[in-house]
Amino acid sequence: MADILVYVPESGKHAAEVLTLARSLGDVTAIAFDDQSTALASEYGAAKVYRVTADGVDDYFVEPKATILTDLARQAGPDAFLLPSTDEGKALAARLAVALDNGLLTDVTGLDAEGARQDIFAGATVTASKITKGFTLATVKAGATAAEPAPGEPAVEAVEVRVADADKRVRIAERVDEPAGDRPGLSEADVVVSGGRGVGSAEDFALIERVADALGGAVGASRAATDAGYYPHKFQVGQTGTTVSPQLYVAAGISGAIQHRAGMQTSKVIVAVNKDADAPIFGMADFGVVGDLFEVLPQVLEEAEKRK
Ligand SMILES: Cc1cc2nc3c(=O)[nH]c(=O)nc-3n(C[C@H](O)[C@H](O)[C@H](O)COP(=O)(O)OP(=O)(O)OC[C@H]3O[C@@H](n4cnc5c(N)ncnc54)[C@H](O)[C@@H]3O)c2cc1C
């Protein structure tokens, strides 16, 4: 059985997906820096957890964590080391690859004994790759696999580390917590309702919010909508925004450009509302409604109200 190391940052759907994928490859050893991550690793079938305590590790940019992960990788000698494809995951993986003189694959959307799959050019091309130097070191994209719990009682090994002065070059001066609000996070939500340029104004995005709230979902937006100032940039879905993989994705007034599709094409059920019957989004939608979103969405709201 292959030995798979997984870096588990806090809790969350993405980390749960990486643990699930890792389980399909072999015995999983998770690396956790807090109790939440340890609990997630237990819930998603890790056989072992390195529970790291390192005073001040979060006061600095990724350097201290990268050193700790490198040391653990040297010690464990894994067949594969997986991290979530987040900004932090990729910054860590790059440093691991350099420190270990190892190959690296980023934004992987599938992985098995044969190698890794990556969807490139906004999903227009699929590549199959295998690392030829060292072990399989990869960051895994959100939505690459569905998270499946497999609760267990992993052996927990406490690892105490002192942060080295050499890793204290970039100190984090301030952290600002964004107000969470009542809606689920975009990348975690089971339902995402997104609006595009077709929504037409910031004021009219209230309709998208109302539909999202009625379905218990998050709000997303196309880049055209965020660039036009209809909705904040942090809600952009797509190649240069957030990748989402909900059970239900509703695209209203979105044409379905390849860069948008790159961020939502793994959604389980896609519903498109567009007044142009030839809009490319209909080519990938499971259900399509040709119509004006200002006529269609109020009917969705009405129906959702009735079913409450
Ligand atoms: C490098 C690069 C990266 C990019 N990254 C992203 C990204 O991450 N995410 C992203 O979304 N885009 C991205 N884009 C932009 C992308 O190419 C498209 O321009 C963008 O997705 C279009 O957004 P849209 O579908 O909202 O607008 P449009 O393409 O203008 O489509 C609007 C749609 O609304 C419909 N419509 C209009 N009024 C109504 C109505 N009342 N009712 C129903 N339908 C209506 C129209 O028929 C049309 O289909 C990127 C582009 C580049 C070059």
Single pTM value for the model: 0.81
Whether residue 69 contacts residue 96, with contact meaning beta carbons closer than 8 Å, is answered with yes
- Residue 10: what pLDDT? 75
**Does ligand 1 lie within 6 Å of residue 295's CB atom?**
no
d(CA 179, CA 188): 16
**Does ligand 1 lie within 6 Å of residue 255's CB atom?**
yes
- Residue 260: what pLDDT? 96
- Residue 164: what pLDDT? 94
- Residue 187: what pLDDT? 84
In sequence order, which residues have a C-beta less than 8 Å from that of residue 105 and are 6 or more positions away? 116, 118, 129, 131, 136, 137, 138, 139
Instruction: Report the run of H or E that residue 22 belongs to, with start and end.
Output: helix 13-23
Measured in Å, residue 109 CA sits from the centre of ligand 1 at 24
User: In the chain, where are the structural domains located?
Assistant: 2-167, 191-306
What homologous superfamily is domain 2-167 in, according to CATH?
Answer: HUPs (3.40.50.620)
> Coil, strand, or helix at residue 161?
coil
Measured in Å, residue 282 CA sits from the centre of ligand 1 at 13
Closest CA to 151 of 7, 51, 41, 5: 41
Instruction: Count CB neighbours of 277 within 10 A.
Output: 9
pLDDT digits (tens, 9 = 90+) for 114-145: 899 998 876 778 999 999 999 999 999 988 89
- Residue 177: what pLDDT? 82
Measured in Å, residue 255 CA sits from the centre of ligand 1 at 5
- Do 2-167 and 191-306 have matching folds? yes
**Does ligand 1 lie within 6 Å of residue 78's CB atom?**
no
Report which residue type is found at 12.
Answer: G
Which residue's CA is minimally distant from atom 30 of ligand 1?
197
- Residue 274: what pLDDT? 98
Give the fold, CATH level 3, of 191-306: Rossmann fold (3.40.50)
Which residue's CA is minimally distant from atom 47 of ligand 1?
276
- Residue 176: what pLDDT? 87
**Does ligand 1 lie within 6 Å of residue 106's CB atom?**
no
- Residue 12: what pLDDT? 83
- Residue 220: what pLDDT? 98
- Residue 53: what pLDDT? 97
The low-confidence residues of the chain, meaning pLDDT below 70, are 11, 122
d(CA 278, CA 176): 44
- Residue 217: what pLDDT? 96
Alpha-carbon dihedral sign for residues 79, 83, 89, 90: positive
